[in-house]
Amino acid sequence: HAAEAQRTDLMTITRHVLNEQGRHPESRGDFTILLSHIVLGCKFVASAVNKAGLAKLIGLAGETNVQGEEQKKLDVLSNEVFVKALVSSGRTCVLVSEENEEAIFVDTPLRGKYCVCFDPLDGSSNIDCGVSIGTIFGIYMIKDKDNVTLDDVLQPGTNMLAAGYCMYGSSCTLVLSTGNGVNGFTLDPSLGEFILTHPNIKIPKKGKIYSVNEGNAKNWDAPTAKFVEKCKFPQDGSSPKSLRYIGSMVADVHRTLLYGGIFLYPADKKSPNGKLRVLYEVFPMSFLMEQAGGQAFTGKQRALELVPSKIHDRSPIFLGSFDDVEEIKSLYASQSSIA
């Protein structure tokens, strides 16, 4: 009966959030409505990504398809879909997208109380070869609804209310936290619903995998170089860690979350602030890692305590299993104590 009950008691992402909503009755379902529009965007992108190869959606913007229509690159198309979905939800007031140089301020009639920072299709350079890519998002509450400014999105990650990503791969998986743990949902295309498949995800305390672009090794600083060296040539007689690096943040982070280990995009001489963006890559993934029992560190501080000064600021990031991140933290601490 339990198996039968599970099959018929479909825990969709909407039901799950409504259940959590019970903890915030004051929000009158606004968050649920916002989330349902984010989910709509993810469903659209999932279908577009799956068809991309066939419909030549991956063509360069400006090309025309067999019907002679103007082709949009998938990331441009995804961005338009998310912006329209978020604005039409009537629950947002400031949007920051990786695809838009400037923040988007929603006009008054449709203005709501949430700010959403998102990368509509992170890793899209990988789509032509079929590597998993994804949407990443983080959600803030505005500070003062009568005076909406850029400061409403230049908040520390500790002020984020929720964060998540949707990975478009062999299956479409949406991983979400609203501050009460991390849950994973898989899209059932026959229902068009995200169903709870990974309840209460916890990252292993220590992992056997490190994930970094070794091609940048010559530019790393000493603590990062020493950490990676220890992964490859452990001094304590333990076996070396495996290197897994896909080059698509959502895929690398999803593997780290489920299997454990550490993902790092360090600063280097070429890019002193690393490559990944604070508001829509570093913060959402750091939020999820902490909610799953892991850690996220910038080389100087807890990642979520960063306060961005510009909406496309970058930061170095080390995130994953608690013990693995603790190791890199101590290497940076001993460096600064020597310096």
- Contact residues for ligand P6P, defined by CB under 6 A: 122-123, 125, 213, 247-249, 252, 275
Tokens representing 106?
């929603």
Return the number of the residue (30 or 122) whose C-beta is nearest ligand P6P. Answer: 122
- CB 247 → ligand P6P: shortest distance, Å? 5
- CB 314 → ligand P6P: shortest distance, Å? 10
- CB 107 → ligand P6P: shortest distance, Å? 31
Return the number of the residue (125 or 336) whose C-beta is nearest ligand P6P. Answer: 125
The 317-320 sheet, strands edge to edge: 242-243, 209-211, 262-265, 317-320, 295-297
Return the number of the residue (125 or 149) whose C-beta is nearest ligand P6P. Answer: 125
- CB 48 → ligand P6P: shortest distance, Å? 18
Return the number of the residue (241 or 275) whose C-beta is nearest ligand P6P. Answer: 275
Q: Say how far apart CA 170 and CA 81 lie, in whole Å.
A: 22
Q: Say how far apart CA 325 and CA 328 lie, in whole Å.
A: 5
Q: Say how far apart CA 243 and CA 210 lie, in whole Å.
A: 5
| CA gyration radius, the chain | 20
- CB 254 → ligand P6P: shortest distance, Å? 12
Pairing of strands 162-168, 104-105: unpaired
* Strand locations in the chain (E): 92-97, 104-105, 111-122, 133-141, 162-168, 172-177, 183-188, 193-198, 209-211, 242-243, 262-265, 295-297, 317-320
Return the number of the residue (122 or 193) whose C-beta is nearest ligand P6P. Answer: 122
Return the number of the residue (27 or 213) whose C-beta is nearest ligand P6P. Answer: 213
Q: If you count them, how many residues does the chain have? A: 339
* Nearby residues of 198 by Cβ (< 8 Å), 6 or more positions away: 173, 175, 183, 184, 185, 186, 258
Backbone angles phi, psi at 23, to 5 degrees: -80, -15
- CB 249 → ligand P6P: shortest distance, Å? 3
